[in-house]
Amino acid sequence: LAKTTQPISMDSYEGQEVNITCSHNNIATNDYITWYQQFPSQGPRFIIQGYKTKVTNEVASLFIPADRKSSTLSLPRVSLSDTAVYYCLVGSPYTGGFKTIFGAGTRLFVKA
Amino acid sequence: EAQVTQNPRYLITVTGKKLTVTCSQNMNHEYMSWYRQDPGLGLRQIYYSMNVEVTDKGDVPEGYKVSRKEKRNFPLILESPSPNQTSLYFCASSSSNGAQPQHFGDGTRLSIL
């Protein structure tokens, strides 16, 4: 399993774009990058998954450079309700990947 | 509605009294998993199951048992609970493995006195 490294915490203001970067230097060829969001006392919620370049959905965008050794979760125009912990995971959805390591995540605090 | 259902949501019990936390999913998922979450330690995987009758240890399996007799159910068993197992527990499922998007339950808060 590829190890991931994220900032422990980040602060932002409402309406700003927030970018959270995750490092995964040992990512394998078949690995995808997955991001989850977790509010206090709730289970994590899947946000987005990608393999390379850029993926966008109604919630976020995921940018993955060509070497795939890092990825950036981009949250456009955050609101107070985006205050949460964000986790980056790396693994192959199609081969292996049964053990899951969440790590400590990035605590995002959005201020008014 | 796609759901992972855990019961109970809250439980206060005493050391040594066997307990079971149930987990059920209605998505016909093959992969199910249990996590515990403690302040400052993030989410740690206890056990996971790749399919019926196939289970394996995660990072913190000591003191826990699981079984997967049916595809939809994955109970977590604490045979002799101890205070260090006081935690918030989450069950999750995904279509095939842990790298596929996982759906999480609402959590079970266990307090063992």
Q: What is the tens place of the pLDDT at every residue in B60-97?
A: 999 999 999 999 999 999 999 999 999 999 999 999 88
Q: What is the tens place of the pLDDT at every residue in A59-76?
A: 999 999 999 999 999 999
Q: What is the pLDDT of residue A47?
A: 96
| Interface residue B102 vs chain A (CB under 8 A) | yes
| Interface residue A42 vs chain B (CB under 8 A) | yes
Residue A5 amino acid letter:
T
SS3 content of chain B, % helix, strand, coil (to 5): 5, 50, 45
Integer Cα distance of A84 and A38 in angstroms: 6
Mean of per-residue pLDDT scores for chain B? 95
Q: What is the tens place of the pLDDT at every residue in A9-45?
A: 999 999 999 999 999 999 989 889 999 999 988 999 9
| Interface residue A86 vs chain B (CB under 8 A) | no
Percent of chain A with pLDDT over 90: 76
Neighbours of A45 (CB within 10 A): 16
**What is the distance in angstroms between the Cα of A9 and the nearest Cα belonging to chain B?**
12
- The full 3-state SS of A39-103, as one line of letters, equals CCCCCCEEEEEECCEEEECCCCEEEECCCCCEEEEEECCCCHHHCEEEEEEEECCCCCCCCCCCC
Residues of A in contact with B106 (CB under 8 A): 42-43
Q: What is the pLDDT of residue A41?
A: 85
| Interface residue B97 vs chain A (CB under 8 A) | yes
Q: What is the pLDDT of residue A1?
A: 62
Percent of chain B with pLDDT over 90: 88
* Res. A97: pLDDT tops 70: no
Integer Cα distance of B82 and B74 in angstroms: 21
Integer Cα distance of B6 and A105 in angstroms: 24
Token pair 């107070």: residue:
A80
* Res. B18: pLDDT tops 90: yes
Contact A91 B56 (CB under 8 A): no
- Search chain B and give the residue with CA nearest A85: B42
Residues of B in contact with A97 (CB under 8 A): 97-100
User: For B35-50, what is the mean pLDDT?
Assistant: 91
Contact A43 B45 (CB under 8 A): no
* Res. B56: pLDDT tops 90: yes
